[in-house]
Chain A
Amino acid sequence: MITNGEVLIRVEDVHKVFGGALHALNGVTTEIRKGEVVVIVGPSGSGKSTFLRSLNLLEVPSSGHIYFEGVDITDKKVDIDKHRQKMGMVFQHFNLFPHKTILENITLAPIKVRRKSKEEAEKQAMELLQLVGLEEKAHSYPSQLSGGQKQRIAIVRSLAMEPDVMLFDEPTSALDPEMVGEVLDLMKQLAKDGMTMVVVTHEMGFAREVGTRVIFMDAGQIREEAEPEEFFTDPKEPRLREFLSKVL
């Protein structure tokens, strides 16, 4: 499956150095097109999370450029907050706001950032909650939810901002095994609905089944990228072969 959508994110020779010593990203160049589901895999410390987090500038690249919808967001003059509204992000540890109810978690940004009316934001939130079957949790607090439920709410919270792309940073790594499925199912649903997604994960099954392209990162570089079928059956790089032999 080749996606020929327009380029949504272009990453040009991005480097990231932590504390002058640790070279987390070592010249990454790639493109994310509309409708793609790009899955990034690699050993821990390979820079895949740093790469994902640099896409919405949670990590500011030390050098290089990142273009989102044609705008160079690494330019200091760019209002990054405006662009982040269009890039949803889901974290490993959910990061729901513990002092807010589920409904407030979802509506806070639409109301305060997008200036939606409370009624409109709540109506939209309830629709999204129905979509994930958690509408009865609207007035609960995050601490009353299971891990899988929290992560589905975190995804819904991002969706409420109507993003053009969703970034997932190991969304199932902190979950109990029996809860991984419900989160992956929701992500599959999103992919089917045409959402552009960039996913850092250890779930090879998801990469194979849902991904349109799989990227292998090692030592801060993209070492191989291919469609899932080719990626898993005919890996070229020795490092990737070694990695796959360990995780499959």
Chain B
Amino acid sequence: MLQDLQSKFINNFIAEDRWKYLTDGLVVTLQITLCAVILGIVLGFLVAIVRSTHDRTGKLKILNALCNLYLTVIRGTPVVVQLLIIYFVIFGSTDISKVMVAVLAFGINSGAYVAEIFRSGIMSIDNGQFEAGRSLGFNYRQTMFYIVMPQAFKNVLPALGNEFISLLKETSVSGYIALQDLTKGGDIIRSRTYDAFMPLIAVALIYLVMVLVFSRLVGLLERRLRNSDH
């Protein structure tokens, strides 16, 4: 039994340096996730600003309509379909790196969810905070930046952490555009060794460890920010 496991392990990971499928795939998965997270935050932040400015002042009508369209389309269609459209339709005739395509697809997708997270955070701040800022002579932008945003960010940190965790896991569909991420790497091993158990469980474990580490980091950050609450 033990010997059986050992030989399977050797066959799946050691022979022909097959472990490299996993490590190379992990690097790709992390690359995509990190870049997409950054893109998602930037996009989501901008959209949230537009939407909450419109909610509060009635300005930015056209931008707000565009943002609504973006949110509706992105949240109303599956991320795999978005990925395929960006790869085969939008960049179908151009020679662009697949990692770049994945970053764009997942970043644009995540931005829609992050936007709503940020907006709910901004709306959770009592209007009195806004009025106190304005009455002290801060303009709209300064009030948002110095007073509303820092509190909103603290309130949405757990939700934001969850969004990043789901993004990390969502990138596992990158294989649809033949991108060799972690999941695809495990799948390639499976197709070589005709053993599903070892490579897929290994892939699952790697995701799990990453998610646990990330949850812990978010928890630490949350606790640091909560210091002012007492």
| Contacts from A to B (Cβ < 8 Å) | 56, 58, 81-82, 84-85, 87-89, 91, 93, 95-101, 108-109, 112-114, 141, 143-144, 154, 157-158, 161
Contact = CB atoms under 8 A, between A and B. Distances in A.
Contacts of B151: 97-99
Contact of B137 (A84, A91, A100, A141): A84
B152 to A, nearest CB: 10
A79 B195 CA distance: 72
A163 to B, nearest CB: 9
Chain A CB within 10 Å, residue with most, of B135, B142, B146 = B135
Given A84-B137, A99-B151, A157-B136, 15 more contacts: A56-B135, A81-B134, A81-B137, A81-B139, A84-B135, A88-B135, A89-B135, A91-B131, A91-B132, A95-B131, A99-B150, A99-B228, A100-B228, A109-B136, A109-B138
B154 interface: yes
A58 B131 contact: yes
A99 B151 CA distance: 7
A108 B135 CA distance: 13
A99 B147 CA distance: 8
A98 B137 contact: no
B76 interface: no
A85 B132 contact: no
Contacts of A88: 135
21 contacts: A58-B131, A84-B137, A85-B136, A87-B135, A89-B131, A89-B132, A91-B128, A93-B126, A95-B126, A95-B131, A95-B132, A96-B132, A99-B150, A100-B228, A109-B137, A109-B138, A113-B137, A113-B138, A114-B137, A157-B136, A161-B136
A95 B128 CA distance: 6
A102 to B, nearest CB: 12
B95 interface: no
B138 A112 contact: yes
A98 B229 contact: yes
Nearest to B130: A95
A136 to B, nearest CB: 16
Given A58-B131, A84-B135, A98-B151, A113 B142 contact: yes
A98 B152 CA distance: 12
B138 A81 contact: yes
B129 interface: yes
Q: Give the 8 A-B CB pairs with smallest separation, nearest first.
A: A85-B137, A95-B132, A89-B135, A109-B136, A95-B128, A113-B137, A81-B139, A84-B137
B56 interface: no
Nearest to A100: B228
A144 B146 contact: no
Chain B interface main SS type: helix
Chain B CB within 10 Å, residue with most, of A88, A101, A108, A144 = A108
A87 B136 CA distance: 8
Contacts of A113: 136-138, 142
Contact of A95 (B129, B137, B138, B230): B129
Contacts of B128: 91, 93, 95
Contacts of B136: 84-85, 108-109, 113, 157-158, 161
A196 B34 CA distance: 56
B138 A141 contact: no
B230 A143 contact: yes
B131 A112 contact: no
Contacts of A85: 136-137
Chain A CB within 10 Å, residue with most, of B126, B128, B136, B142 = B136
Chain B CB within 10 Å, residue with most, of A56, A82, A84 = A84
A141 B129 contact: no
Contacts of A99: 150-151, 154, 228
Nearest to A91: B128
Contacts of B147: 97
Interface in B158-193: none
Nearest to A160: B136
A161 B135 CA distance: 11
A113 B150 CA distance: 18
A157 B135 CA distance: 11
A161 B128 CA distance: 19
A152 to B, nearest CB: 15
Contact of A58 (B135, B146, B228): B135
B142 A84 contact: no
Nearest to B145: A112
